[in-house]
Amino acid sequence: MPTPCPRVLVVEDELIVARDIEQQLVTLGYLPVGGASMGEEAITQATELKPDLVLMDIQLAGTMDGIEAAKAIRTQLGLPVVFLTAFSADDILARAKLTEPFGYILKPFSERELGTVLAMALYKHQAEARLRTSTRQLKALSQRVLEVQEQERRRVAIELHDELGQSLTAIKINLQLGERFKDRAPPELYAENLRIVEEALKQVRHLATGLRPSMLDDLGLAPALKWMAEQSASRSGLEVSFHHERTQVRLAPEIETACFRIVQEALTNISRHAQAKRVAISLRRDGTDLLLCVQDDGLGFDLAAMQERATAGGSLGVLGMQERATLLGGQLSVVSALGQGCTVQLRAPWRNLEERP
């Protein structure tokens, strides 16, 4: 599918000059849209047409000059503006700078000059847009990290108090009773203490596994993913399969952790939202890359809407997976459509344990 031509709104009060600029734009591969000769008209057309860039003459007919119009367009619409002018007075340049223009061309100019300035202006605008998106995502992720951290602390505190704390309290009471009636302490008291200690140990192991399964550190990624698939199947009733290429080497710890958490998040999303019956998890090596895939046969979703929510910080699970992939130097892709399930795939550099930088 060919890339659409960037759309440019030309604001110029001299008709002949405006037509000449439009011809040059077409030659350079741009699409002129609309055409205004006054500042107020430029704001209206920019609002209605939403071009990719505004080429603005500073000296315009009417009461509003190009600088005032550019300021309104930048403030209200966030569109990039490139100024055209035959004047290079310092006071005009000073006023123009306040509107944060993306370029400044002195008349007369060549087609090559116009093309260079417009290309740089669009590149700068796209870079700033990506930076704003990344900043919003980072802010949303940072907030989510703090929330999850507090939730996890609260969960651990409750389990320690309600489960382990109760067990220790019961043991203390039994020991006090045994001390008070040491001459005739029933054997059942010691048996009860042993039973409570065993339960407390199970609770500690369960708590530790919830924080980070020891299997991931002791045996590696593949056994940990197999264990997670079995646990997910038993809890949710899903048919979860795991396939991997057997290898004798361990992956770098940061890769194992990222892969484990990505699969964990994907399975959580599937169990909550997908209404799936089957899930397939695969892990293999593809040349110098690691390829991890989680695929379900659930309801699927509108991918464009999901990406928009993620950009706005609304789909934090996806943002978290993407952030983990980025930290590995890899890339996470999500493919889905309504009624066609979903596929989450991670491609990242394969690094063995001894190859850690």
Assign residue 29 the CATH number of its domain: 3.40.50.2300
- Of the residues 185, 211, 237, the one at which a domain ends: 211
pLDDT band at 179 (very low <50, low <70, confident <90, very high): low
Is residue 123, in this structure, part of any structural domain at all? no
Nearest by Cα to 257 from 319, 323, 307? 323
303 lies in a domain?
A: yes
Distant-in-sequence, close-in-space partners of 78: CB < 8 Å, separation ≥ 6: none
CB 251 within 8 Å of CB 351: yes
- Asked if the structure places residue 115 within a domain, the reply is no
Closest by CA position to 12, among listed 31, 36, 34:
36
**Is the pLDDT assigned to residue 251 strictly greater than 80?**
yes
293 falls within a domain: yes
Beta strands in the chain (DSSP E): 7-11, 31-32, 53-57, 81-85, 103-106, 239-244, 278-286, 289-296, 331-336, 342-349
pTM: 0.53
Domain count, the chain: 3
Residues 186 and 287 in one domain: no
Is residue 83 one of the residues assigned to a domain?
A: yes
| pLDDT surpasses 70 at 182 | no
Domain shared by 181 and 228, yes or no: no
Looking at the structure, do residues 237 and 198 belong to the same domain, yes or no?
Answer: no
Helix 15-28 crosses helix 111-159 at what angle (to 10 degrees)? 70
Does residue 4 have a cis peptide bond before it, meaning omega lies within 30 degrees of 0?
no
Q: Is the pLDDT at 158 greater than 80, yes or no?
A: no
| Strand partners of residue 338 | none
The pLDDT tens digits for 309-325 are 665 555 667 778 888 88
240 CB-contact burial (10 Å; exposed 0-12 / middle 13-18 / buried 19+): buried
In a domain, 1, yes or no: no
Which residue range forms the structural domain that includes residue 97?
7-109
Claim to verify: residue 238 and residue 341 sit in the same structural domain? yes
CA-to-CA distance for 241 and 105, rounded, in angstroms?
A: 62
* Chain center to CA of 196: 45
Residues 274 and 341 in one domain: yes
Verify that 145 and 81 share a domain, yes or no.
no
Establish if 38 belongs to a structural domain. yes
Same domain, 46 and 92: yes
Q: Tell me the HSE value of 134 on the side-chain side, using a 13 A CA sphere.
A: 8
CATH number at residue 219: 3.30.565.10
Amino acid at 341: G
Same domain, 146 and 171: yes
Query: 208 pLDDT band (50/70/90 cuts)?
Result: low
180 occurs within a structural domain: yes
The number of residues making up the chain comes to: 357
